[in-house]
Amino acid sequence: MSENYDIVVIGGGPGGYVCAIRAAQLGLKVACVEKRGALGGTCLNVGCIPSKALLHSSHLFEEASEHFDTHGIEVSKPKVNLEKMMARKDKVVDSNVKGIEFLFKKNKVTYVKGAGEITSPTTVKVALLDGGEETLTAKNIVIATGSEVTPLPGVEIDEKNIVSSTGALTLPTVPKKMVVIGAGVIGLELGSVWRRLGAEVTVVEFLDRILPGMDGELVKQTQRIFAKQGLDFKLGHKVTAAKTGKSGVTLTVEPSKGGDAEELKADVVLVAIGRRPYTTGLGLDKVGVELDERGRVKTDEYFQTNVGGIFAIGDTIAGPMLAHKAEEDGVALAEMIAGEEGHVDYGKVPGVVYTWPEVASVGKTEEQLKEEGAEYSVGKFPFTANGRAKAMESTDGFVKLLEDKKTHRVVGAHIVGPAAGDLIAEVVLAMEYGASAEDIARTCHAHPALGEVVKEAALDADKRAIHM
Ligand code: FAD
Ligand code: NAD
C-alpha cells in the first residue's frame, strides 16, 4: 500500500513531532514515522522529562531531609520509596506522550508506528511495529532520528551495573557508591539525583573542568557549590577499563595527561560522555545523503541535505543537542517547506542544567569575547543580596551579564542560582530584541522576585547596582 504526503517526518522526538504539527497547521498533509512505540523521542521517554521528574522528587527529598528544620518544620526522618518515585516519573512521561498523540489527532498528522527507511528521494518504506510493511510517498522527507549514547571503549554498558542515562533513570535501588564518567549535563543532573537519594557519587572527568563550553567563572562557582553538596570530582582523569564482578564494578582510572593508573570501585557506573547522531537503518548510504566527519547529517542553512527533497533537523545535524533547539529547527523547516520564512538564531539558544541551584547560559562566554578581542562590560550580582532568595534559603550563585561596549547590546548571560533556567528567558528575549543592559535595568521587575538579580546585574554593567 502506498499513500502520498507533502511531508513524511522520520522520528517522533521534539524535532520531528513539532515539525509535523507545524506543517499540518500550515495546511500540509503530513505523516510522522516513529519506531519506539511512543511519541516524544529521547526527550519525553528517556531524557528531559523523566530526568526532570526525578530531579524534582529528589530535590524535595533533600529539602525534607536537610532543610525543613531551618524553616521550623519538624518531620521525622523522611524515607525514599523508590518504587513509588519511579512510578510517578513513569506517569509523568506517559501523560506527556499521550498529549502528543492527542495533538497529532487534533492537527490531523498521520502517526505511522514503525521503522522508516528512505528508499528514494520520494519514498519511505516502513517496517510496521505490528508486522508488515507500508510505503509512504512524499514530496519532502525530514530526517529527525535524533541521537544515541556515545559508547566508551573498555566500559561496556549492560544497563545494570554499567548504565547509560537510560539505565540511570530506572535503577531499582539506590546504589551505595556510584561513579559517573563525564562531568557534562547528564553526569551532573543524574549524579545529583542519586547523591540526593543517598549514593556516594564520584564524577570522573577527562578535562580539568566541569561543563565544558560554559563560562569559566560560572563553572568554577558551580563546581564549588556541587562539591559542597557532596559530589566528589576527579578532574583530569579518564576511565580506561571496567571489570564487573559479584561485588560491583572495578574501574581503571588514569590521569588524562598520563601517569599512574588507580582503581575505583562502584556498585553502579554511569557512562555520560556525550551523545552521537543516530541514523542507523535509514538507508542514507543508498540514497546518497552525506554525513560529516562526526556522523551528523550534512545540511545547508535551510536544513536541505545534498539530496533534493530530503531534509534533516535536531540532534542528527550540527548544533547543540537540545530539545528546544530541535523544536526550533522543526518549526523553521515546516515554515520554509510551506513557503514561509523560517529562521533559527543559533547564537541565542539557552542551555540549562536542572540541578539545584540551576545553571543557565545564553550567548557568548567571557572566554569567547576575549578570544574575539571584543570590548565588553560585565554586570554581576549575587543571590545573597536578594530578598526573595534569602526568604527561600537559596542564596548560592549569581547572575552575570555581558554587554558589547560598542553596540551596547547584551551578548551573553550566565546564571547559577535558584530557577536560573527560568530567569534566563528574560535575557534571551532581551537579546532577541537587541536590548542593552540599560534596557533591562530600566524595566520594572516585581519585588521581591529572583528576577531582580537580573535587573541588578544589568545595573552593575553600568556600575550602579542599588543593593550592593
Ligand atoms: P530524539 O528525541 O532522539 O527523537 C528521535 C526519534 O526518532 C526517536 O524516538 C527514535 O526512536 C526515532 N527514530 C530513529 N530512527 C528511526 C527510524 N528509522 N524510523 C522511525 N523512527 C526512528 N534537552 C533539553 O533541551 N533539555 C533537557 O533537560 C534535556 N535533558 C536530557 C536528559 C537526558 C538523560 C538525555 C539523554 C537527553 C536530554 N536532552 C535534553 C536532550 C534532548 O533529549 C534531545 O536534544 C532531543 O530529544 C533531540 O530531539 P530529536 O527530535 O532531534 O531526537
Ligand atoms: P556532554 O557533552 O554534556 O558531557 C560529556 C562530558 O564527558 C564532557 O565533560 C567530556 O569532557 C567528558 N568526557 C568525554 N570523554 C570522557 C572520558 N573518556 N572520560 C571522562 N570524561 C569524558 O554529554 P552528556 O552529559 O552525555 O549529554 C549528552 C547531550 O545531551 C548533551 O549534548 C546535552 O546537551 C544533552 N542533555 C541536555 C540536558 C539539558 O539541557 N539539561 C540534560 C541532559 C542531556
Q: How is 233-258 classified by DSSP, letter by letter?
A: EE-SEEEEEEEEETTEEEEEEEETTS
* Whether residue 377 is found in the same domain as residue 299: no
Q: Is residue 319 part of a domain?
A: yes
Q: Is residue 67 part of a domain?
A: no
* Residue ending a domain, choose from 315, 344, 373: 344
Does 428 sit in the ligand 2 pocket, CB within 6 Å?
A: no
CA of 47 from ligand 1 middle (Å) equals 7
* Whether residue 175 is found in the same domain as residue 315: no
* Whether residue 132 is found in the same domain as residue 259: no
* Whether residue 172 is found in the same domain as residue 86: no
CA of 190 from ligand 1 middle (Å) equals 17
Each residue's pLDDT tens digit, 80-91: 999 999 999 999
> What CATH number does the domain containing 361 carry?
3.30.390.30
Long-range contact pairs involving 428-435 (C-beta distance under 8 Å, separation at least 24)? 428/348, 428/350, 428/362, 431/348, 431/362, 431/363, 432/345, 432/348, 434/409, 435/409, 435/410
* Whether residue 354 is found in the same domain as residue 453: yes
* Residue ending a domain, choose from 233, 254, 273: 273
* Whether residue 176 is found in the same domain as residue 319: no
User: What are the cell numbers at 280?
Assistant: 542507523
Q: Is residue 72 part of a domain?
A: no
Q: Is residue 466 part of a domain?
A: no
Catalytic, 447? Answer yes
Q: Cα separation of 268 and 265, whole Å?
A: 9
Contact at 8 Å (CB) between 315 and 340? no
Q: Is residue 69 part of a domain?
A: no
* Whether residue 88 is found in the same domain as residue 222: no
> What CATH number does the domain containing 183 carry?
3.50.50.60
* Whether residue 366 is found in the same domain as residue 447: yes
* Whether residue 17 is found in the same domain as residue 138: yes
Three-state secondary structure call for residue 179? strand
| 415-448 exposure pattern, b = at least 16 Cβ within 10 A, e = fewer | bbbbbbbebbebbbebbeeebbbbebbeeebeee
Which ligand lies nearest to the CA atom of residue 276 in the structure? 2
* Whether residue 411 is found in the same domain as residue 310: no
* Whether residue 215 is found in the same domain as residue 268: yes
Q: Kindly give, in sequence order, each residue whose CB lies less than 8 Å from that of residue 442, ignoring residues fewer than 6 positions away.
A: none
Phi-psi region of 406 (alpha: psi -120 to 50; beta: other; left: phi over 0): alpha
Residue 389 CB: number of other CB atoms within 10 A?
24
Residues whose beta carbon lies within 6 Å of some atom of ligand 1: 10-16, 33-36, 41-43, 47-48, 51, 115-116, 144-147, 165, 186, 278, 281-282, 314-315, 321-324, 326, 354
Q: Is residue 214 part of a domain?
A: yes
Residue with cell 537503518: 281
* Residue ending a domain, choose from 253, 273, 293: 273
* Whether residue 18 is found in the same domain as residue 139: yes
For 372, the domain range is: 348-460
- Distance linking the first and last C-alpha atoms of the chain: 70
Q: Is residue 221 part of a domain?
A: yes
Q: Cα separation of 210 and 236, whole Å?
A: 10
> Counting atoms of ligand 2 from 1, which one is nearest the CA of 48?
42
Q: Whose CA is nearest to atom 22 of ligand 1?
A: 11
Each residue's pLDDT tens digit, 192-219: 999 999 999 999 999 999 999 999 999 9
Does 392 sit in the ligand 2 pocket, CB within 6 Å?
A: no
How many domains, in total, are found in the chain? 3
Q: Is residue 71 part of a domain?
A: no
CA of 37 from ligand 2 middle (Å) equals 27
Q: What is the pLDDT along the chain (468 residues), one digit of tens a residue?
A: 567 999 999 999 999 999 999 999 999 999 999 999 999 999 999 999 999 999 999 999 999 999 999 999 999 999 999 999 999 999 999 999 999 999 999 999 999 999 999 999 999 999 999 999 999 999 999 999 999 999 999 999 999 999 999 999 999 999 999 999 999 999 999 999 999 999 999 999 999 999 999 999 999 999 999 999 999 999 999 999 999 999 899 999 999 999 999 999 999 999 999 999 999 999 999 999 999 999 999 999 999 999 999 999 999 999 999 999 999 999 999 999 999 999 999 999 999 999 999 999 999 999 999 999 999 999 999 999 999 999 999 999 999 999 999 999 999 999 999 999 999 999 999 999 999 999 999 999 999 999 999 999 999 999 999 998
